[in-house]
């Protein structure tokens, strides 16, 4: 098993997959190999179906099952060099609306931390619509404070994009990065290294708790709220798509379900 996983990791790196995708694919493949047990190189579509059913019975989410399937397909196509196509459809994903925080709730969350750096992390994540991975990887040279823009490099899907920086954060950011070199991180850990994603998530979770908001929100809810509030302000959905870096407009359009003003103007008959 270890030999096949190493070969898969090598192929994923050659094809320039992101470290996060490589880690996820290897985990999914390890789960499948453990289930299959032997003769790993031989493609057995019925065995793959049994594995996916086994995952469903263990309450593995549709998203994770699809990731496992993609990892298996990658292995047999690129490593085992199997010519036979795997004719198994992806699991139907659950269609749930993103958790959106109101402007008032956002203000409460940002006001909650006493640490100015923690406050700024949450403010910038919301104000620029950043993922947690993008916040912790942000470098000084990525900020253009004169133009009020931030350059997010090699984000999800290995793509660059430009987003906006709120004018209200400019002076705070200038003070934070004063004396730093272009390659220095904007947000460093207490020990001087890179802030972990989990640390940033904990900052959000504590702020959410302390603000008394009961919604099941996560750090990513700041990004969801950024998109929704822009649409509520009348920003064209295609501009929001660019700021978020969505490849497909349909991904961005799901926010219109949350922010439809016509629905909000309907009063219940009770």
| Choice among 166-170, 188-192, 211-215, 218-222 with the minimum mean pLDDT | 188-192
The one catalytic residue in 118, 223, 224, 229 is: 223
Q: Using one digit for the tens of pLDDT, what is the confidence trace for 170-184?
A: 999 999 999 999 999
The one catalytic residue in 32, 75, 126, 255 is: 255
131 catalytic per annotation: yes
75 catalytic per annotation: no
| Choice among 160-164, 185-189, 243-247 with the minimum mean pLDDT | 243-247
Q: Using one digit for the tens of pLDDT, what is the confidence trace for 43-63?
A: 999 999 999 999 999 988 888
Question: Half-sphere exposure of 207 toward its Cβ, with a 13 Å CA cutoff?
Answer: 30
Tell me the CA distances in angstroms from 45 to 41, 51, 76, 87, 91, one per residue in order.
12, 10, 11, 8, 16
**Average pLDDT across the chain, whole number:** 90
pLDDT of residue 19: 87
264 catalytic per annotation: no
The one catalytic residue in 65, 161, 229, 246 is: 246
The one catalytic residue in 131, 161, 224, 229 is: 131
246 catalytic per annotation: yes
| pLDDT, greater one: 248 or 105 | 105
118 catalytic per annotation: no
Q: Is the dihedral of CA 25, 27, 33, 35 positive or negative?
A: negative
CATH class as words, domain 2-79: mainly alpha
198 catalytic per annotation: no
pTM of the model: 0.74
CA distance 111 to 207: 8
Q: Using one digit for the tens of pLDDT, what is the confidence trace for 6-35?
A: 999 999 999 988 888 999 999 999 999 999
- May I ask the CATH architecture of the domain 103-261? Orthogonal Bundle (1.10)
The one catalytic residue in 151, 156, 180, 206 is: 156
Dihedral angle computed from the Cα positions of residues 174, 177, 181 and 186, in that order, rounded to the nearest 10 degrees: -130
Token pair for 201: 């998530």
Locate the domains of the chain by residue range.
2-79, 103-261
* Helix (H) or strand (E) segment spanning residue 74: helix 62-74
């Amino acid at each position: 098993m270890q030999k096949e996983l190493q070969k898969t990791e090598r192929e994923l790196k050659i094809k320039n997959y992101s470290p996060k995708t490589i880690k996820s694919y290897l985990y999914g493949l390890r789960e499948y190999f453990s289930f299959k047990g032997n003769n790993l190189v031989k493609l057995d579509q019925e065995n793959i179906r049994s594995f996916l059913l086994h995952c469903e019975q263990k309450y593995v989410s549709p998203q994770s099952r699809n990731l496992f399937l993609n990892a298996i397909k990658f292995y047999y196509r690129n490593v085992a060099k199997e010519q036979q196509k795997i004719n198994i459809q992806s699991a139907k994903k659950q269609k749930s609306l993103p958790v959106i925080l109101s402007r008032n709730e956002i203000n409460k969350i940002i006001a909650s931390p006493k640490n100015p750096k923690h406050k700024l992390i949450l403010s910038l994540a919301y104000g620029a619509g950043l993922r947690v991975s993008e916040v912790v990887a942000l470098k000084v040279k990525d900020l253009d404070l004169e133009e009020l823009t931030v350059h997010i490099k090699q984000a999800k899907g290995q793509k660059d994009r430009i987003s906006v920086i709120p004018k209200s954060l400019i002076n705070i950011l200038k003070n934070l990065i004063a004396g730093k070199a272009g390659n220095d991180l904007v947000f460093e850990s207490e020990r001087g290294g890179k802030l972990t994603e989990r640390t940033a998530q904990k900052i959000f979770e504590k702020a959410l708790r302390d603000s008394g908001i009961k919604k099941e929100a996560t750090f990513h809810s700041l990004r969801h709220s950024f998109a929704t509030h822009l649409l509520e302000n009348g920003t064209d959905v295609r501009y929001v798509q660019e700021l978020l870096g969505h490849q497909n407009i349909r991904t961005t359009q799901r926010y219109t379900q949350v922010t439809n003003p016509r629905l909000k103007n309907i009063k219940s008959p009770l």
